[in-house]
Chain A
Amino acid sequence: MGQDSAPEPPIVPSLADPFAGVPAKREAPNAYDAAIEEGERLRRRPYEAAGVEAILRQHQKNRMTVWERIRVLTPEQPDVLFENWGPNLDGASLVTAVLRIAGREVACYGHDFTVRAGSMDATNGKKLARLFQLAGERGLPLIGMNDSAGAYVPAGVGGLDGYAEAFTALRKISGVVPSIMCMFGFNAGGGSYLPRQGSFVIQPEDTFFGLTGPQVVKSVLGEDVTPAELGGPKVHGNSGVADLTVADEVAALRTALRLLAYLPSSSKVLAPFLPTSDPLDRPTPEVDTLLRKAFTSPTGFNTPFDVSILIQQICDHGDYFELQPARARNTITALGRVGGHVTGFVANNSAVASGQIDVAAAYKNARFIRFCNLYNIPIVFMEDTTGFLPGKEQEALGIVQAGRAMLDAIVDVRTPRILLLVRNAYGGAYASFNNYPTGADLVLALPTTRVAVMGPAGKEFVYKDELRQARAKAKQLEAEARAALEAKGLARAEAASEAKHQAQAWLREVEAGLSQRYERELMNPREALALGSISRLVMPIEIRKAIAEGVDFYMRHYTPGPLMAVQREFH
Chain B
Amino acid sequence: MNDPKPFEPYDRHPLVTTPVVVTRPDSAWARSLRVDDVRPLIVCRGPIRKEALDVFAALGIEDAGILLSEKDSIVYQQALAPELRRVPAEHVHRVKDYSGADKAEREERTRQIVSICKEHGYTHVFAGYGFMAEDEAFVRTLEEAGLVFIGPRSSVQSAAGRKDEAKRTALAEKVSVTPGIDDVTSRVLLRKHPDLGALRALVNEHALPVSAESLREGASLAEAAKAVLDASYARRIDLYTIDELSAEIERALVQLFTAHPGNRVRLKAIGGGGGKGQRILTGAPKGSAPERVAACAAKAPAAVREILAEVKAAGVGDNKNILLELNVEETRHNEIQMLGNGRWCVSLGGRDCSLQMHEQKLLEVSITQEGLARAAERARAEGRDDEAKTLEVDRRTLERMEAEAERFGLAVGLDSAATFECIVEGENHYFMEVNTRIQVEHRVSELCYALRFASPQEPDDAIVVNSLVAAMVLVARHGDRLPRPERVLREGAALEARLNATDRSLSPHAGGLIHSWTDPLPYEIRDDQGICTKNPDTGIFVRYRLAGAYDSNIALLVTYGDDRRESYERLAEILRRTKMRGTDLATNLEFHYGLVHWFLARNVWAKPTTRFVVPYLCQVALLCQEGRELDLVHAWTRIVASRAACAGSPEAEKATRKILGLKETLLKRPLDALCAEPHVLSAWLSHLGNRSRIEGGRVRWLDNPLVVLWDLYKLLNMDEQPNAPAAHVIWEHDRELVDRGLAFYAALEARLGQPSWSELEALLAKAEPPSGFDAELWHEARAAHRGHQLGLEILDLLPLLADRTGFFELRVEEDLSITIPERLLDPELYGRAKKILAPPPATKANEIVAASGGMFYAREAPHMPRFVEKGSRFEAGDPLYIVEVMKMFNKVYAPFGGTIDELYIDDGDGVIVHKGQPLFRVTPKDAFVELDPVEVEKRRREKTESYLSAVLPST
Contacts and interface: CB of A to CB of B under 8 A. Distances in A.
Interface stretch (B34-42, B158-166, B441-449, B532-540): B532-540
Contacts of A59: 665, 731, 733
Interface string A402-442: 00000000000000000000000000000000000000000
Contacts of A5: 766-768
A179 to B, nearest CB: 22
B656 interface: yes
B765 A1 contact: yes
A15 B74 contact: no
A450 B502 CA distance: 43
Q: Which 8 A-B pairs have the closest CB atoms?
A: A298-B861, A354-B888, A18-B780, A68-B726, A386-B886, A13-B787, A299-B889, A10-B648
Nearest to A393: B915
A289 B725 contact: no
A8 interface: yes
Contact of B665 (A10, A60, A254): A60
Interface string A72-91: 10010000000000000000
Interface in A365-406: 386-387, 391
Nearest to A298: B861
Given A286-B80, A298-B861, A298-B864, 11 more contacts: A13-B656, A14-B655, A16-B783, A55-B733, A60-B665, A253-B725, A274-B538, A279-B89, A317-B536, A319-B542, A354-B886
The listed residue with most B CB atoms (<10 A of its CB), out of A64, A299, A456, is: A299
The prevalent SS among residues of A at the interface is: loop
B811 to A, nearest CB: 37
A17 B790 CA distance: 15
A447 interface: no
A356 interface: yes
B745 to A, nearest CB: 11
Interface stretch (A129-137, A146-154, A303-311, A469-477): A303-311
Interface in A443-467: 455-456
The listed residue with most B CB atoms (<10 A of its CB), out of A253, A285, A317, A340, is: A317
A283 interface: yes
A289 B728 CA distance: 43
A290 B94 CA distance: 12
B781 A275 contact: no
Interface residues of A, number: 78
Contacts of B583: 247
Interface of A: 1-2, 5, 8-19, 52-53, 55-56, 59-60, 62, 64-65, 68, 71-72, 75, 247-251, 253-254, 258, 261, 274-279, 282-283, 285-287, 289-290, 293, 297-299, 302-304, 306, 308-309, 312, 316-319, 337, 340, 350-351, 353-356, 386-387, 391, 455-456
A19 B655 contact: no
Interface of B: 1-4, 70, 73-74, 77-78, 80, 84-85, 89, 94, 515-516, 535-538, 540, 542-543, 581, 583, 647-649, 651-652, 655-656, 659, 661-662, 664-665, 723, 725-728, 731, 733, 737, 740-741, 743-744, 747-748, 751, 765-768, 777, 779-784, 786-788, 790, 852-853, 860-861, 864, 882, 884-891
B740 A15 contact: yes
A18 B786 CA distance: 12
Contact of B861 (A274, A277, A299): A299
A12 B766 contact: no
Contacts of A277: 4, 536-537
Given A8-B767, A274-B538, A350-B888, A15 B737 contact: yes
Given A11-B782, A275-B4, A289-B74, A304 B889 contact: yes
B70 A293 contact: yes
12 contacts: A8-B779, A10-B651, A12-B651, A19-B744, A19-B751, A71-B725, A249-B727, A254-B515, A275-B537, A299-B882, A302-B884, A312-B77
The prevalent SS among residues of B at the interface is: mixed
Contacts of A12: 649, 651-652, 655, 783
A15 B738 CA distance: 11
Nearest to A261: B538
A64 B664 contact: no
B786 A64 contact: no
Nearest to A300: B889
Contacts of B740: 15, 17
Given A68-B726, A353-B885, A1 B537 contact: no
A351 B740 CA distance: 59
B888 A308 contact: no
A81 B629 CA distance: 49
B676 to A, nearest CB: 12
A540 B176 CA distance: 59
A296 to B, nearest CB: 12
A318 B786 contact: no
Contacts of B731: 55-56, 59
A5 B767 CA distance: 8
Contacts of B882: 299
A72 B783 contact: no
A337 B733 contact: no
A64 B891 CA distance: 44
A62 B70 CA distance: 43
Contact of A317 (B542, B661, B748): B542
Contacts of B94: 285-286, 289
A387 B886 contact: yes
A318 B80 contact: yes
Contacts of B74: 286-287, 289-290, 293, 309
A235 B295 CA distance: 67
A251 B779 contact: no
B777 A250 contact: no
A387 to B, nearest CB: 7
The listed residue with most A CB atoms (<10 A of its CB), out of B784, B884, B888, is: B888
A13 B786 contact: yes
B242 to A, nearest CB: 52
B369 to A, nearest CB: 47
Contacts of A303: 888-889
Contacts of A354: 885-888, 890
Contact of A289 (B70, B655, B662, B889): B70
Contacts of B2: 275
A312 B725 contact: no
Contacts of B723: 75
Contacts of A285: 94
A57 B386 CA distance: 55
Contact of B784 (A15, A60, A65, A308): A15
A60 B1 CA distance: 50
A59 B583 CA distance: 24
A2 B652 contact: no
Given A290-B74, A298-B861, A455-B887, A14 B665 contact: no
Contacts of A282: 89
A17 B665 contact: no
Nearest to B790: A13
A250 B78 CA distance: 22
Given A56-B733, A275-B537, A286-B74, A16 B784 contact: yes
A13 B726 contact: no
A145 B94 CA distance: 47
Contact of B727 (A62, A302, A308, A309): A62
Contacts of B779: 8-9, 11
A450 B478 CA distance: 58
Contacts of B540: 258, 261, 319
A285 B780 CA distance: 77
B537 A317 contact: yes
Contacts of A75: 723
A320 to B, nearest CB: 9
Contacts of B887: 302, 354, 386, 455-456
B746 to A, nearest CB: 10
B888 A15 contact: no
A276 B537 contact: yes
Contacts of A248: 727
Given A10-B652, A12-B652, A276 B726 contact: no
